[in-house]
Structure 1
Amino acid sequence: MKKLVLAYSGGLDTSYCAHYLSHEEAYEVHAVTVNTGGFDGEELKEIESRALELGVHSYRAIDAVQSFYDRVVRYLVFGNILRNNTYPLSVSAERIVQAMEIAQYARDTGATHIAHGSTGAGNDQVRFDLIFQIMVPEVQIITPIRDNQLSREAEIKYLRDAGIPYAWEKAKYSINKGLWGTSVGGDETLKSRKPLPDHAYPNPLVKEDSQTVTLDFTKGELTAVNGKKDTPVANILKLEALASQFAIGRDIHVGDTIIGIKGRVGFEAAAPLIILKSHHLLEKHTLSKWQQFQKEQLGSFYGMLLHEGQYLDEVMRNIEAFLEDSQRKVTGRVFVKLHPYRFELEGIDSKNDLMDASFGSYGELNRGWSATDAKGFIKILSNSGRIASQIQGDS
């Protein structure tokens, strides 16, 4: 039998693939779930049970939460990356790491085929295929849903006819949870007019008061929440548990897909948005204006390439080196106030704060230069404009 590794989530599409490839195509299917923060232990047991019932030869769950942070999330923070100034790249970033883990597993186990449940209408097909073709070019990619243009109804009928008794009907809202946020899709996101209702989001409003939280960053990484030190991954989870009670981080992202159509998706990302905005504020105090300028360009470029599945291009390692080096002085504490549905950044405290009153206070007092110095500086600064105006005039 031909050995095939299937990227398996336990949903309808990958369940169809598991049964179809095992029974109809006679592959030796090895189902693999890559956890980037969306599953707990009980959920993974249920996914394993379903995979074995569908007829796979073996099942493996790979814990890639730390790998996800090390490879991608830390650079999203360093770059303050929000796609279209809105979306923290929750799902797209996960897919890259999931694809790499699947490819590595296929290589390690000597698989000749690799499969995923993507349709032909989304971004994930591009991300998975790109990674697979670069990392394991000798392995053949199988995509039954895309290749056969299957509808959900056709998949459900096939599984029911095969005696698989699960309730496969699509939930009103699709939820995709991970370490770096949760995406939410529904009928409202298929068109341009309507917002998602409150009940579509996974975390309802629990707290209606206000609460101040402190975030400590060390060289750009979140190292403590409310003064308690822990790993960045643990701190992200702690902040998410706290801030999600305020229903913070809800929005709808509208963007250009890799395949050239517009897409609209809701998301809930309390911790990612608070971390990114807090980190950005700390950088405003600790980095030079030219560091900030270059970071904005490279961060945006990094996010675009990541979104489009180009993570393995060597330019990404070049950008990561710049982003990491830029964080040498980004250490300090940020004070954040949480409110229902929103948060505000109150201020920072850092030994590297360049807003040092000993040099002067903006709009108030100058201590490092005289009035004569200021007049001369401004006169020289006006030279290029003054020369152009006198020689060329309004023409």
Structure 2
Amino acid sequence: MAKEKIVLAYSGGLDTSVILKWLKETYDAEIIAFTADIGQKDELDGLEEKALATGASKIYIDDLRAEFAKDFINPMFQAAALYEGQYLLGTSIARPLIAKRMVEIARAEGATAIAHGATGKGNDQVRFELTAAALAPELSVIAPWRLEQFREEFPGRAEMIAYAEKHNIPVTASAAKPYSTDRNLLHISFESGMLEDPWFDPAADDNKGMYVLSVAPEDAPDQAEYIELEFAAGDCVAINGTKLSPLEVMETLNEIGGKHGIGRVDMVENRFVGMKSRGVYETPGGTILFTAHRKMESLTMDRDVMHLRDSLISKYASLVYNGFWFAPERLAIQALVSESQKNVSGTVRLKLYKGNVIGAGVKSPVSLYNPDIATMEADPTKAYDQGDATGFIRLNALRLKVGSGVEQNAKK
């Protein structure tokens, strides 16, 4: 009788390497490893050999970078999503894509379950499993870190390292790791270890080596750099006159932004599971793109449409952060967002200097800005009669006057 098949989200690190072997032994199952290439760079080196040596029957290493940029990053940036006013959701937005592909592989392979190495304290477990529930409710989900048997066997990293050594699992790990990282096309995150102390300064001189995608702003070039981003229907399609794919846009902006020390964020955020956690993020390209997109909208988007979309930013960002990418409410908001972006087209010029992204000009063939109307000089079009403001103010003041009168009478 054929063994049960389990598809494991596999990074090749200590946790998922140990989990791969443990799943195979505990469930007497065939383990199919899956790694999504979403921009981890050299972190993917040697993964196939590691997975097969650890006991996987096969491994998928799929290049999802183009899909990530086009179908996940771009729609999210059109929504101007920013979690708790700071976080550009680099890790959050990657999880539904990874889980989506894992579900597709499970169905293609005839697997009955998927598995992941997310802990029971974090957000990723929720993101993976909500995606699976939305796309493939028939699949079981195995989360070893939530199983008492697994936690008893591996109460700490020392036990995992010992297990790896016993089973000749080819991983490189140490018992004392100063922090953990997660990298993709949009950002890199740092958390845990020394960063669990919110007073610890990750940007201090002796900690500059922690950062990967950006130089320290004080070490950035002394000469500012100007760049131009061209937008079409809410998406950046060219940089400095060169047409680029969504993937190429992110890669180009990451290189430019990192050179100027752009996109570092250090915050204490609220996890969906209820606790606060400290995260440090580098999002150089995303920070430039976010700023440019908002400036493009300022020129081309109708006021009330913008305000309506902006009223949904917090909700949309929470949906992404909490793992509801494939939920009907996110899809409904996205439809409104897509409609709002039809005329977000034109060119934005930015000045980049020592960690700062500064607006330096914006233009569009569908601009809603009319200098003849906005001018403080004489209006040659006669489109705006300043005298009309008298009635406008009087009507808007009516309820304030009535309310004030009621309060004054109550005090008599």
**8 Å CA contact retained: 1:359, 1:368:** yes
Tell me the CA shift for residue 304 of structure 1: 0.5
In the alignment, does 2:335 pair up with 1:329?
A: no
CA contact (8 A) 1:173 1:200 kept: no
Q: Could you tell me which of 378, 382, 391 is aligned with 2:397?
A: 382
| 3-state DSSP of counterpart to 1:84 | coil
Deviations 1:174-226 (A, max 9, x none): 33211211112253421221221322111335534211011111111000111
Structure 2's unaligned 5+ residue stretches are: none
Amino acid at match of 2:164: L
d(CA) in 1 for partners of 2:322, 2:315: 11
CA–CA distance in 2 between the matches of 1:206 and 1:277? 19
How far apart are residue 37 of structure 1 and its match? 2.0
Name the residue aligned to 1:317. Answer: 331
Aligned partner of 2:210 in structure 1 is: 200
Is the contact made by 1:18 and 1:54 (CA closer than 8 Å) also made in structure 2? yes
Q: Give me the whole-angstrom Cα distance separating, in 2, the residues matched to 1:181 and 1:265.
A: 12
> Which deviates further from its counterpart, 157-166 or 101-110?
157-166
The equivalent of 2:44 in structure 1 is: 44
- Does residue 285 in structure 1 map to residue 285 in structure 2? no
3-state SS in 1 of match to 2:236? strand
Do 1:249 and 1:273's aligned partners in 2 also have CA atoms closer than 8 Å? yes
Q: TM-score, normalised by structure 1?
A: 0.93
- The alpha-carbon deviation at position 288 of structure 1 amounts to 2.1
| Residue aligned with 2:80, SS | coil
Secondary structure of 2:298's counterpart equals helix
1:189 to 175, 188, 195: 195
1:22 counterpart = 2:24: yes
Alignment match, 1:11:
13
Within a 5 Å distance, the mapping from 1:258-273 to structure 2 comes to 258-273=272-287
SS of 2:41's partner is coil
Equivalent residue number for residue 245 of structure 2? 231
Per the alignment, do residues 247 and 394 of structure 1 end up closer, same or farther by CA in structure 2, a change over 3 Å counting? farther
| Deviation at residue 45 of structure 1 after TM alignment | 4.5
Determine if contact 2:53/2:170 at 8 Å carries over to the other structure.
no
Q: Kindly indicate whether residue 178 of structure 2 is the aligned counterpart of residue 161 of structure 1.
A: no
Q: Partners of 1:171 and 1:379 in 2: how far apart? A: 65
Residue 91 of structure 2 aligns with an amino acid whose one-letter code is V
Deviates more, 1:216-225 or 1:346-355: 346-355
SS of 1:285 mapped into structure 2: helix
Alignment partner, residue 94 of structure 2 = 94
Distance 1:103-1:378 versus aligned 2 partners, 3 A rule: same
Conserved 8 A contact 1:80-1:277: no
Amino acid at match of 1:333: T
SS of residue matched to 1:281: helix
Alignment-derived partner of residue 255 in structure 1: 269
TM-score (norm: length of structure 2): 0.90
Please name the residue that 1:306 is paired with: 320
RMSD: 1.9
Change (3 A) 1:210 1:372: closer
Contact 1:13-1:145 at 8 Å conserved across structures = no
Per the alignment, in what secondary structure is the counterpart of residue 222 of structure 1?
Answer: strand
Cα distance change on mapping 1:281 and 1:132 into 2, 3 Å: same
One-letter amino acid of the structure 1 residue matched with residue 29 of structure 2: Y
* Preserved CA contact (<8 Å) 2:90 2:184: yes
3-state SS of the aligned residue for 2:107?
Answer: helix
SS in 2 for 1:71: helix
Moved more, 282-291 or 20-29: 20-29
In 2: Cα distance, 1:211 partner to 1:19 partner: 50
Counterpart secondary structure, 2:46: helix
Query: % of aligned pairs identical?
Result: 28
1:135 aligned onto 2:135: yes
Distance, in Å, in 1 between the alignment partners of 2:116 and 2:334 is 29
**2: CA distance between counterparts of 1:381 and 1:91?**
45
The question of whether the paired residues in 1 share the 8 Å contact of 2:12 and 2:171 is answered with no
CA distance in 2, matches of 1:371, 1:144: 68
Give the number of equivalent residue pairs.
392
Q: CA deviation at 1:391?
A: 4.6
| Matching residue of 1:105 | 105
User: Which amino acid letter does the alignment assign opposite residue 6 of structure 1?
Assistant: L
2:14·2:172 contact (CA, 8 Å) conserved in 1? no
C-alpha spacing 1:383/1:144, structure 2 compared with 1 (3 Å): closer
Contact 2:10 2:34 in 1 (8 A): yes
- The whole-number CA distance in structure 2 between the counterparts of 1:364 and 1:337 is 30
Change (3 A) 1:211 1:100: same
SS class of match (1:393):
helix
Question: Match for residue 146 of structure 1?
Answer: 146
Q: Quick one: distance in 1 between partners of 2:134 and 2:394?
A: 57
Question: Where do 5+ consecutive residues of structure 1 fail to align?
Answer: none
AA of the residue aligned to 1:67: E
Give the aligned partner of residue 126 of structure 1.
Answer: 126
Cα distance change on mapping 1:369 and 1:22 into 2, 3 Å = closer
- The answer to whether the Cα contact below 8 Å between 1:302 and 1:316 also exists between their aligned partners in 2 is yes
Relative to structure 1, is the Cα distance of residues 272 and 371 closer, same or farther in structure 2, using a 3 angstrom cutoff? closer
